[in-house]
Amino acid sequence: HQTPILVTPSARANYIEYHLSQSGNYDYQSFPLDGEVVHFRGPLFHGKIVSRVRDVPARAATNEPEIFRPARVDSKKYFKGRSRQFQWSVQGQFSKRVRFDEVITGQDFGRPFRNAPAVGLVKRGLELLKPKLPETFECELFTETPRFEHPLIAGCQFFRIDRPEDVINTDNCSTTTVHDYTDDDNDGNERTLGLAGENDKGEIIEDSSLLNDPSVPRDAVARRKYFSKKENLERFHFEPDLVYTFDYYANFFSPVRHTLELTSFFRVDLAPYFNGYPLFMAMAKDKTSGQYFWGTEMWHERILNYDQKPSFMARLLGTSKTCCLSSNSGTSCER
């Protein structure tokens, strides 16, 4: 089965090692998008990641033992009855103590947008979204290197903390066990079924009780609102002796079609905008150093032909007086 997308380790974080199988006869490595666990290790974080994308068939090449597949929450099970388009979970340990506001997620681009929407239109859209965005949301869209970022703890749908001794791998292949984070184990023990705290629908069960602070809401929605405030973020740190799990999903962006689908009648093709640059699927970054905790990229076949004529919607929105374009001779601005 062929699919128009691949999710690969990010070239922007090439110092992170993922335990992936080869993709057929090709020399690149890609992530399974059907809920299979992939282990990884980087200088700032080590653990495992699970990725799911709607309408992507399971691949044949896999590192997963056959015995695990019937019980795993695959994409078909996960997306059934839901409007979600993609999802990822990361579970593991930080290598050093990091304050909550220093671990950010979002998108950043190495070159400016093409067919950029009018500045006024974008500003108006951000004003409408402001009540739903964290106070710490940062956005720079009309620059040579566009970005929008916010603290991970304020954006992930579900979050939990566990003690390592509570989630050590066991022999019963339970969906609530994880490996022992010794990524050099080659006897199969680290190829566990799922993530600690994952329910039978593939969602992570919220549990922030190990923060030991009664002011932090136990409900996921209220937790995101609480950590949207900078003064609350600055009070807490991710500790290297605990296991953290972050669960994120999106309803409105379809990776398979590379479109923003706000309603069944209103879709925006994003391929003409990003100048051939891939979007992050899963990403967390150190705000101060710029180094990534983890990073995976979505490559769609259509962004390889990004110099295409804009769609009607792109032409309708692309009315900016100033648009930065990238060329072989450098970067220039057209008016």
Please give the pLDDT value at position 72: 77
Please give the pLDDT value at position 143: 85
Q: What is the 3-state secondary structure (H, E, C) of the chain?
A: CCCCEEEEECHHHCCCEECCCECCCCCCECCCCEEEEEEEECCCEEEEEEEEECCCCCCCCCCCCHHHCCCCCCHHHHHCCCCCCEEEEEEEEECCCEEHHHEEEEEECCCCCCCCCCHHHHHHHHHHHHHHCCCCCEEECCCCCCEEEEEHHHCCCEEEEECHHHCCCCCCCCCCCCCCCCCCCCCCCCCCCCCCCECCCCCECCECHHHCCCCCCCCHHHHHHHCCCHHHHCCCEECCCCEEEEEEEECCEECCCCEEECCCCCEEECCCCCCCCCEEEEEEEECCCCCEEEEEEEEEHHHHHCCCCCCHHHHHHCCCCCEEEEECCEEEEEC
**Global pTM value:** 0.81
Structure tokens at 22: 């080869």
Please give the pLDDT value at position 159: 98
> 222 φ, ψ to 5°?
-65, -35
Please give the pLDDT value at position 4: 85
List per-residue pLDDT tens for the chain, 335 residues long.
578 889 999 999 999 999 986 554 445 678 999 999 999 999 999 999 999 999 987 665 455 545 445 457 899 999 999 999 999 999 999 999 999 999 999 999 888 888 766 666 667 666 766 666 777 888 888 888 888 899 999 999 999 999 999 986 533 333 333 333 333 344 444 444 579 999 989 999 999 999 999 999 999 999 999 999 999 999 999 999 999 999 999 988 899 988 888 777 778 788 888 888 899 999 999 999 999 999 999 998 888 776 555 454 444 444 443 333 333 333 333 33
How many alpha carbons fall within 13 Å on the CB side of residue 150?
17
Please give the pLDDT value at position 303: 81
